[in-house]
Structure 1
Amino acid sequence: MTDNTQQATFANLGLIPTLVERLVELEYHQPTPIQLQAIPHILAGKDMVGGANTGSGKTAAFALPILQQILQQDTPRRRGNFVSHLILVPTRELAAQVASNVKSYSYHLREQIKTVAVFGGVSVNPQMQLLRGGCDIIVATPGRLLDLVSSNAIKLDRVKTLVLDEADRMLSLGFTEELNNILALLPEQKQTLLFSATFPDKVTTLAKHLLSDPVDVQLQSAEESTLVQRVFSVNKGEKTAVLAHLIKQHQWRQTLIFVNAKNACNHLAQKLSKRGITAEVFHGDKGQGARTRVLDGFKSGEIQVLIATDIAARGLDIEKLPVVINFDLPRSPADYMHRIGRSGRAGEVGLGLSLIDYDDYHHFKVIEKKNKFRLEREQVAGFEVDDDQSEAYFLPMRPQPAPAGTGKKKKKKRNQLEM
């Protein structure tokens, strides 16, 4: 695979010169492994399940063939309020990002190809205006798309290509009803493409019911990742102190911190502020305008520390983000990979840190098992785990003996590594 990737060019994947020239301008020098394997199959009209590490170029893998198919079709593209190609994504921010990428790839064709992003949290009227006369590509969140369909702003019965980006999330229970409603509006004959960094077994089984003789490309590989993973054991109640210490010690240019709840974002930001660290928050209770401003500020480097819920875990491309920290462990093992995948993207070296206390220990073992890796437990100098918790952190679980009442516990040797 490596040798083929080094020899391959976008031109010999079958892409037309206009697209290849644009990729040169964008400094896309060689196709990534997922692009190398996916593009020819998609150009040939095959259904596909495409799995690859975060930051591996999946958007270009499906967007470039779609753009070429639009340019090469013989019939008029835009008529009435119909759409030809539909890309479904789970979050507003990802909808805007994917649409921006598609528009960038088709920059020299902007008079010929119309791409529109539609998502909630903002007024629907400007989006309805953009859809007048139909469009070639819609990038949409499911709820807003159904709103537009019910308002007769768009029709889906002539869709030629359906893409589920972050497909594992799109096929999860939270989107089941909306996705089923959308699928009922689509024609039976279409090309269906599913892309994600993770495909749990249940999702893979469900996905195959949507596809016709699909090509299955799975390229997730810890060995090929440029992301370093580390896990630090801490005493219960000391996570904030350890987090503040790490931020000050390493002076990271940017730090993305994940927690599990909206109120936890604000609470942690307040506690860091008392320790001299200014942090912004990013969660679903913020209005779309505020969310956009915060995310843009973080991407530009104006905001150095961002505390977010999992709405920031999926697909967002933050260039050269040095570190992601799990202050709270994600409830889903798959979300762990999506979170840390905000760092180490596009071949850049990145770091994914997790802070675990006694209550997190078993859940982190589940995350390791599901994602097929094992990390050494480390400690931060000055914040070592108490002796009475060290066995639970670092040794296999065993039946607990009855209280002896006398004698002292033998001190365990603990793994203590400097960052």
Structure 2
Amino acid sequence: MKIQEILDRLNVKSLNKMQYQAGDVMVNTDNDLVVLSATGSGKTLAYLLPLAGMLNPKLDKLQAVVIVPGRELALQSYEVFVHMGCGIRSMALYGGRTTMEEHRNIQKTNPQIVFATPGRFNDHFGKGNIVTDNVRYLVIDEFDKCLKMGFHDEMRAVINSLSFVEKRVLLSATDTDEIPNFVNMGKVTRLDFLTDTQIPDRINIFMTRSKEKDKLNALYFLLCSFGESSSIVFLNYRDSVNRVANYLSDKGFIVSSFHGGLDQKARENAIYKFSNGSVNVLVGTDLASRGLDIPDVDNIVHYHLPIGEEEYIHRVGRTGRWQAKGRAFFLLAPDEQLPEYVKFTPEIYLLPSSVKTPPQPRMVTLYIGKGKKDKISKGDVLGFLCKVGGLNGCDIGRIDVKERCSYAAVNRDKWKFVVERSVGEKLKGIKTVVELIK
């Protein structure tokens, strides 16, 4: 396994100190490992890179289990592993789709590593869909959340089903008081890269006040002042997310909503459009604070104050990923004060006295009705958009090829031209449909 080739595929220039040390412990010692490092510091790659080299690609058995608290992190971790291109078969297992559908995919894929939520993993194990006799490695990502008291029964069942584990790796951006005995940790190496503030210096924290108790108008002015940059607005309740998202949409913003009341497809679409630049404002609950690998979030807005320091850390960790810079804003009503866990006074951010029309994202997302089953690649889609659609490379963003369709981010000012020119045209010799995803 050539590490530099993998890093190049992931557009990662080099590993940081935390990633080097984590890999050294995993590969060169028999110790179990606990890694504490800020959100956005690259913990997923810190364990995946060494783990990929520890698995045997010639052994057609499940060898590693990665347990995560939610479907978004399961998908994100799985996608990072796929993009690494190490020749190890993998799957993401999570709720929101039938166990039978996943079982068919398990039989088809015969995964050597799975990324799973605890409940779905237990479901498959209980039905005999997964055999764990050859599982030697257990990773618990965001272990602080997975090992909370309310999840002990589920996690105990997971670990009881993994009788032959030889190495355990636990990672999180926030610590826990203790690791339960049922995790069966042996001799432990603990890597603690958390600072006292737990907020990296590259993230600037600001505070702005609304003149009114209802902060919607202040939020509008705040987001307008950001221009075309991307922003996540955090709220504490689903109904509030819907209210704020509807208000911003009525004002002219292109918005995605994200909370636990949405079905899986709606949540995936919301994150996809935000990550590919078709939406520049994501309004969500704290569900959006974990497990989302969106590298270019410029601004975080606390519309509702975080309910605790842990939630605050994970929210702010959505910006300033890796070595990027970011900003986070407390939007306070006249009677609101900063939480006690904020030990410093943020810089004051003055709202503009007037604003122009809300900025529109540069891209839109097009649906293309052919995918992997039609032997379509990203290069085929790119060529089609340039040759048939008349676009230049700078007009095209992220392209994703799914099993039965493809998605492409294209310049907002040119999508109509692409759709019109694509009518009746063929993609790799096959007539296809090209439509705007609203």
The normalised TM-score by structure 1 is 0.77
* Residues 128 and 26 of structure 1: CA distance in aligned 2, closer, same or farther (over 3 Å): same
Give the one of 258, 263, 269 matched to 1:282. 258
For residues 157 and 287 of structure 1, the distance between their equivalents in structure 2, rounded to whole angstroms, comes to: 34
Deviation at 1:237, TM superposition (A): 1.4
Question: 1: CA distance between counterparts of 2:351 and 2:238?
Answer: 31
Task: Say yes or no: does 1:293 pair with 2:269.
Answer: yes
Residue equivalent to 1:69: 54
* Distance in 2 (alpha carbons) for counterparts of 1:194 and 1:208: 14
Q: Quick one: distance in 1 between partners of 2:227 and 2:316?
A: 19
Q: Secondary structure at the match of 2:63?
A: strand
Identity rate, percent:
26
Q: CA deviation at 1:265?
A: 0.8
Residue 142 of structure 1 is aligned with which of 112, 118, 132?
A: 118
Q: CA shift at 1:169, angstroms?
A: 1.1
Matches of 1:32 and 1:189, distance apart in 2: 28
Equivalent of 1:216, from 190, 196, 199? 190
CA-CA distance at 1:266 after TM superposition:
0.6
Distance (whole Å) between structure 2 residues aligned to residue 152 and residue 320 of structure 1 = 41
* Contact 2:231 2:280 (C-alpha < 8 Å) held by counterparts: yes
Which consecutive unaligned segments of at least 5 residues does structure 1 have? Answer: 1-15, 384-419
Q: Give the deviation of 1:236 after TM superposition.
A: 5.3
| Residue 418 (structure 2) aligns with | none
**Would the aligned equivalents of 1:53 and 1:225 in 2 still touch at CA under 8 Å?**
no
* Amino acid in the other structure paired with 1:280: S
Q: CA 1:24–1:382 in structure 2 vs 1: closer, same or farther (change >3 Å)?
A: closer
Correspondences of 1:108-147 after superposition (within 5 Å): 109-110=86-87, 113-132=88-107, 134-147=110-123
Q: Which amino acid is 1:124 matched to?
A: T
Shift of 1:206: 4.0
What residue number does 1:375 align with?
345
Label 1:53 to 1:102 Cα distance change in 2 as closer, same or farther (>3 A). same
| Partner of residue 42, structure 1 | 26
CA drift at 1:270: 2.2
Whether the aligned pair in 2 keeps the contact of 1:252 and 1:323 (CA below 8 Å) is: no
| Residues in 2 aligned to 1:280 and 1:33: alpha-carbon distance in whole angstroms | 35
Q: Equivalent residues in 2 for 1:266-345 (5 A)?
A: 266-345=242-321
How far does the alpha carbon of each residue in 1:288-345 deviate from its partner, in whole angstroms, 9 at most, with x for none? 1111111110001101111111221113111211111111122231111111111100
How far apart, in 1, do the equivalents of 2:249 and 2:8 lie?
A: 44
Q: 1:162 to 1:173 in 2, by over 3 A?
A: same
Measure the CA separation in 2 of the matches of 1:377 and 1:208. 45
CA RMSD of aligned residues (A): 2.4
Distance 1:189 1:295, change over 3 A: closer
Contact 1:33 1:219 in 2 (8 A): no
Deviation (angstroms), 1:241: 1.5
Give the TM-score taking structure 2 as reference length.
Answer: 0.74
In the TM superposition, residue 224 of structure 1 has moved relative to its aligned partner by 4.8
Q: Is the 8 A contact 1:313 1:338 kept in 2?
A: yes
Query: 2-side partners of 1:56 and 1:163: how far apart?
Result: 17
Query: Which protein has the bigger helix share?
Result: 1
**Correspondences of 1:2-401 after superposition (within 5 Å):** 16=1, 18-44=2-28, 45-71=30-56, 77-79=59-61, 83-105=62-84, 107=85, 109-110=86-87, 113-132=88-107, 134-187=110-163, 189-200=165-176, 202=177, 204-206=178-180, 210-221=184-195, 224-235=200-211, 237-357=213-333, 360-361=336-337, 364-365=339-340, 367-368=341-342, 373-376=343-346, 378=348, 380-381=350-351
Q: Which AA in structure 2 matches 1:95?
A: A
The one-letter amino acid paired with 1:61 is: A
- Measured after TM superposition, the shift of residue 135 of structure 1 is 2.2
Q: Which residue number corresponds to residue 13 of structure 1?
A: none
Q: In the superposition, relative to structure 1, how do residues 333 and 236 fare at CA in structure 2: closer, same or farther (>3 Å)? A: farther
Q: Is the Cα contact below 8 Å between 1:242 and 1:380 reproduced in 2?
A: no
How far apart, in 2, do the equivalents of 1:208 and 1:181 lie? Answer: 10
Number of aligned residue pairs: give it.
349
More strand by share: 2
What residue identity is the alignment partner of 1:375? T
CA contact (8 A) 2:221 2:352 kept: no
Change over 3 Å in CA distance of 1:379–1:26 after alignment to 2 = closer
Q: Distance in 2 between matches of 1:225 and 1:47?
A: 30
The whole-number CA distance in structure 1 between the counterparts of 2:19 and 2:181 is 21
